[in-house]
Amino acid sequence: MPHFEPHYAGKLLGGLGVADAEAVLDLREANPPQAEASLSDLFERSRFGPRRTVAVRLAPPPEGGGETLFQPVGRQLLEARKRGLVERLQPLPAHDGLGYFVALAGRPEKSEAQ
């Protein structure tokens, strides 16, 4: 049996989804300001807790097309990743609907030298 790097194995297996997350942030009923505030609160709380994974669920586009929270939420998650609050970020697999699988960095671990 061939061995794959974790990145490619995840792609073959469908990636990490809602069932793999430790928590779910459901933004399917949220408007853009509510979604932004919920994510900001999630990042602030994660700074003081242990590392954990969260599935962020978003509503699909309305019938006939239209805007979703996918891009604005994605931008906010990418900015958090640049700030070191998010370790891993990927879209949810298709069977879980629209959203992201997020691994939060949590509080920095204390070094043994202190």
In sign, the C-alpha dihedral spanning 67, 62, 11, 21 is positive
Look at residue 23 and tell me if it is in a domain: yes
Alpha-carbon distance of 78 to 66, in angstroms, equals 23
Q: Is residue 18 part of a domain?
A: yes
Structural domains in the chain (count): 1
Instruction: Report yes or no on 2 lying in a domain.
Output: no
Domain hosting 34: range is 12-93
Q: Write the pLDDT tens digit of every residue in 30-67.
A: 999 999 999 999 999 999 999 999 999 999 988 888 88
In a domain, 98, yes or no: no
Q: CA-CA distance, 45 to 48, in Å (whole number)?
A: 6
In a domain? residue 82: yes
**Other beta carbons within 10 Å of 12:** 8
Euclidean distance between CA atoms 23 and 33, whole angstroms:
21
User: CA 18, CA 82: separation in Å to the nearest integer?
Assistant: 24
Please state whether the predicted TM-score (pTM) of the whole model is above 0.85: no
